[in-house]
Chains A and B, each alone.
Chain A
């Protein structure tokens, strides 16, 4: 017997204990799980949710920075930004491709995004109001994303881990270009410096929130860590981000908008003021400044493109018919 790799794998509902034990044994030995291997339904579901959310974040994430492609202030910056936003489309596609190996077609994942059922990173519901925001996103948001993503190159699911390896490699320039923009602005004219500080003021807290709710309130941590699809907790990753970013802000000569921020000698970590979790949950629920616009833009692109996708399908059908007749 053989299987086609595009079939997806059905339920495996009667997997039974033996298969589950074998699956757990593989996890314990840090072996990868591959698409056609048996896996518990909950593992599959959680992965589809996590991978598709990640993919949606890449795709929706194109929009805030994409705003500035047509207005980038030099040809050099324009090329960098365009290549970066293009990478995000590419990374979305690598991730959907990994998600599809679990048997859920991309169109289905995208439909869940458009209906509002699927989530994406809440950071992209904030507006990019000035050119410095492009710098702040590269420096802070991509900086946070890298911290999240690097451990995932070692996650248990083969296609996801391989996609993450490719993505991390390609994204290595993303954070640097953002920092370079901030550096240039911070050392530029007074107006430019003010623009950079303003961007940091607006993007700092949303970036800190990107790692998700505190461990005490996070619902998926434990099981996901057992499955090795989450290797560190939200708070561990957040701390790492703060520890590496604060010194960078000092080098830039920009002020982190947190009066309670201070270095703790004893723990050798920074301590920050309280995070406004109410804002976080409000933005996730759809009340961020741009939730509606972002989603509508994606829906419009999809709906406006329907005739193109249909035409290409029809043309392929006609061609196949002609070559059959010949």
Chain B
């Protein structure tokens, strides 16, 4: 597959899969105000996913639109990082997963907004503004729940320990990253690691949480090798268009 298609799909799939996870919270959140807030984040991410996937489809030139890419690819064809496909768990797990992603996305989107590919730059610029708000919210929740009660702190620390192993992949480059960087389209993911860690340390200090260390990092999502949970997520998401084929909705 064309490197640029592959590259754009990665950002689209990250947004799509996380949005799909988050929308399952609506009507089940800890307080009704949070139902509204989580729906807003999910709506933003679905909106971003549509823009990325539509562009990926155009670049590919095989006549696949956003829905064809979202509903008619198998798990092995998805290019999202493992972090975003992990199940919602409790509100602590959702918060930690969201915070790790939002912080990474704030750095990645800032890089992409300077891309030589104008379409990529424009999508990133739009997404960057939405993401800044998501990060504000998730960072606030990290601190509230970390520095809250004994119970909330222990739930948060457990979630951090669980999710840390999925953060390494965010900063791993491969050939696609290298090609995109050479063309001035993409960025070097390893360069985001230090600024990401620096802000994590500051947030964790305020949240009285410990940064995990000595954890074996999982990888593979960007190349299509996922955790078991993605297959279930897609089975649910794709059921209708796959059951009644050739239909308009």
- A–B direct touch in complex (beta carbons closer than 8 A): yes
Do residues A86 and B26 form an inter-chain contact, with CB atoms below 8 A?
Answer: yes
Contact with A along B34-53 (1 / 0, CB 8 A): 11100110110011011001
Chain B count of residues within 8 A CB distance of the other chain: 48
> Whole-angstrom distance between the alpha carbons of A304 and B155 in the complex?
13
Q: How large is the interface on A (under 10, 10 to 19, 20 to 34, 35 or more residues)?
A: 35 or more
Do residues B147 and A318 form an inter-chain contact, with CB atoms below 8 A?
Answer: yes
Contact with B along A223-255 (1 / 0, CB 8 A): 000000000000000000000000000000000
Contacts of A56-73 to chain B: CB distance below 8 A: 59, 62-63, 66, 69-73
Q: Using Cβ atoms and an 8 Å threshold, which residues of chain B touch A314?
A: 148-149, 152
Q: Using Cβ atoms and an 8 Å threshold, which residues of chain A touch B40?
A: 86
Expressed in whole angstroms, the minimum distance between the Cβ of A34 and any Cβ of chain B is 25
Also in contact, A82 and B46, with CB within 8 A (given A66-B27, A93-B32, A315-B144): yes
> Whole-angstrom distance between the alpha carbons of A16 and B151 in the complex?
52
Other-chain residue from B43, B49, B145, B147 in contact with A86 (beta carbon distance below 8 A): B43
> Whole-angstrom distance between the alpha carbons of A310 and B148 in the complex?
8
Expressed in whole angstroms, the minimum distance between the Cβ of A104 and any Cβ of chain B is 16
> Whole-angstrom distance between the alpha carbons of A297 and B26 in the complex?
12
> Whole-angstrom distance between the alpha carbons of A71 and B32 in the complex?
22
Also in contact, A307 and B149, with CB within 8 A (given A62-B26, A78-B23): yes
Contacts of A303-325 to chain B: CB distance below 8 A: 304-312, 314-315, 318
**Interface SS of chain B: helix, strand, loop or mixed?**
helix
Do residues B67 and A70 form an inter-chain contact, with CB atoms below 8 A?
Answer: no
Q: Using Cβ atoms and an 8 Å threshold, which residues of chain A touch B20?
A: 70
**Interface presence of B197 (CB below 8 A):** no
Which residues in B have some Cβ–Cβ distance to A below 8 Å? Answer: 20, 23-24, 26-36, 39-40, 42-43, 46-47, 49-50, 53, 66-67, 70-71, 90-91, 143-145, 147-149, 151-152, 155, 236-237, 239-241, 244, 246-249
Extra pairs beyond A90-B36, A312-B145 (11, CB < 8 Å): A62-B26, A62-B35, A63-B27, A74-B241, A82-B39, A83-B43, A86-B36, A93-B32, A181-B249, A301-B27, A310-B149
